Amino acid sequence: MGRSYVLAGNVAIESMGAKTFGFAGGREDTFKPDQAVDWGPEDEWEASERWDEDGSLQGDLGATVMGLIYVNPEGPDGNPDPEASAENIRESFSRMAMNDEETAALIAGGHTFGKVHGAADPDEHVGPEPEAAPIENQGLGWESDYGSGKGKDTITSGIEGPWTSAPTEWDTGYLDNLLDYEWAAEKGPGGGWRWVPLDEDLRTAAPDVEGDDTVTPMMLTTDIALKRDPDYREIVERYQDNPMEFGINFARAWYKLTHRDMGPPERFLGPEVPDEEMIWQDPLPNTDYELISDEDAAELKNDILATDLSVQQLVKTAWASASTYRDSDKRGGANGARVRLEPQRSWAVNEPEKLTAALHTLEEVQEEFNASRSDDVRVSLADIIVLGGHAAVEQAAADAGYDIEVPFEPGRVDATAKQTDAESFEALRPKADGFRNYIGDDVDAAKVDVVEELLVDKAELLDLSASEMTVLVGGLRSLGATHGDSDLGVFTDEPGTLTNDFFQNLLTMDIDWEQSDEDDHIYIARDHETGEVEWQGTRFDLVFGANSRLRAIGDVYAADNAEEKFVHDFVDAWSRVMTLDRFDLE
């Protein structure tokens, strides 16, 4: 279905005479709502309580209003204020990685077609949405008792009118109407704010949806925003003068809008996929060398362990590289070694100085290996980073008495800065990473409920199960792989060894936890008998004792005879994270 929706959109656009840029299949249908999506703080449709005091949109939300895509068409809070609306549009579209040129092309191009529907007041005539509608509506909702409920009587947004004189044709009618005429705000028959032309001639310029009557073209407040905002205005004026450029930019931006969450090119299927490589696909170079063998990998792991890099540095570097992956739009991950490029290498979560030093050493190992080969075998830094993590995990398991090999598939490549849209990568920056026990300055730790949710959110983006999240946190803590090498959550006397100490020491009844006086996010464990301080942890640690589901999983790993299972499960989860982005292997 996902594929059909987009294909139907392309067919409609082509049928109206516009060119499309391409089409790819490969989307999947879900069969239940995704519970993990953060839709915003409001519990009422069309409410908007998602603004910080400084006026910026909170968190990672895309839309400015609950339940609307993008922004309120009538203007912020329903006020027909085009200048303020332009700011909303810029914020919302930039969160979809759209710049001003793309945004203007999309809105102007999209609204070259069709009309808005508000023949009468929705509150008076339109019934409940599908989920709330009675069973006899059979999954359909929004039943309207206004006239026929269809055609010219249709009510959806509650705003009424077409944008152009030829609403089913691709032309510059929208741009001409917008720029060549003056518009004034009024409330239409559905009660919604719209803008109508002051010019008498234009008032009868559009055809009605049925019959021979004419109707008045209109603009939304968000459309008028494009002529009032000076930057958008410059662009729409240029598009009006250069229809060819307008058409191309619309086609390309439409392709981006409808394919941007599909991930790398390997996932784009079908004969209409354009050859051109898109920067928003986070392109990767092709390999022009042979990949390393199992023996080479073993040799490289030895070379890496012989450097002065610690288990912690190796694990954290590999984690920093791979854990940017997000399953929601298949971006990020270890392939590309973008952790060595801006913006990732400067992210506070990655401890930039230590990361740079670790990468430098790993680069030396890579260069030495590549220089030593007289055949065509070469290794990428992206593979070396992952191999370094594997070597450290194997070493830590060996120190705990387990001889284990983490599965490894070579073939990752190193992307260049030119192949990286640094600005859009900034959206992948973790504000917190509970796996490294990191919480960024821009997270308000006082909002206590939120803190552990950030860990679960990160785990969800990494497509991890509750058990995988649990074993990874416990393992990373026993390795001592915490942000700033802090002791927080490192409930073991032998950090760097892959033991189940984290769970044993967290879930024992021999200690009592209390909140620190100095920092709400930090908790102190005291010996139940002596009162002596044993450990310090954060909410990211304590949630594995406090949450019943996580505690049940933690209890399994805390058992005296569970260490081997713990080590194996950790290795499985670790290698899954390292390969989340390997669509090239599928």
Residues at the contact surface with ligand HEM, assessed by CB under 6 A: 70-71, 73, 89, 106-107, 109-111, 113-117, 156-157, 159, 220, 222, 254
Q: Compute the least distance from the CB of residue 182 to ligand HEM, in Å.
A: 21
Spell out the SS3 assignment of 426-468. Answer: HHHCCCEEHHHCEECCCCCCCCHHHHHHHHHHHHHHCCCCHHH
Burial of 353 (0-12, 13-18, 19+ CB in 10 A): exposed
Closest CA to 553 of 438, 424, 466: 466
**CA atoms of 530 and 457, how far apart (whole Å):** 38
* C-alpha triplet 485, 489, 494: angle, nearest 5°: 70
For 189-253, give the DSSP string.
TTS-EEEEESSTGGGG-EE-SSSS-EE---B-HHHHHHHHSHHHHHHHHHHHH-HHHHHHHHHHH
Give the Cα separation of 34 and 29 in Å (integer): 11
Q: Is the Cβ–Cβ distance between 321 and 359 less than 8 Å?
A: no
Which CB sits closer to ligand HEM, 16 or 542?
16
Least distance (Å) between residue 475 CB and ligand HEM: 45
The interaxial angle of helices 466-479 and 563-579, nearest 10 deg, is 100
- In the bound state with ligand HEM, the residue whose beta carbon lies nearer, of 89 and 580, is 89
Closer to ligand HEM by Cβ: residue 219 or 304: 219
Q: Between 159 and 278, whose beta carbon lies closer to ligand HEM?
A: 159
Closest by Cα among 375, 384, 430 to 408 = 384
Minimum distance from CB of 12 to ligand HEM (Å)?
8
116 vs 359 by CB, closer to ligand HEM:
116
CB of 71 to ligand HEM, least distance (A): 5
Least distance from ligand HEM to the Cβ atom of residue 132, Å: 20
Q: Which is nearer to ligand HEM, 106 or 469 (CB)?
A: 106
From the CB of 146, what's the least distance to ligand HEM, in Å?
A: 13
Q: What are the distances in angstroms from CA 580 to CA 140, 170, 574?
A: 38, 42, 10
Q: Which is nearer to ligand HEM, 111 or 483 (CB)?
A: 111
**Shortest distance (Å) from residue 74 CB to ligand HEM:** 8
The minimum distance between CB 186 and ligand HEM, in angstroms, equals: 16
Pick between residue 106 and residue 455 the one whose CB is nearest to ligand HEM.
106
Q: Which tokens is 94 given?
A: 């930039």
CB of 110 to ligand HEM, least distance (A): 2
Angle of CA points 55, 56, 59, to nearest 5°: 140
For 116, the 3-state DSSP assignment is strand
Closest C-alpha among 545, 544, 559 to residue 500: 559
Task: Identify which of residues 163 and 574 has a Cβ nearer to ligand HEM in the complex.
Answer: 163
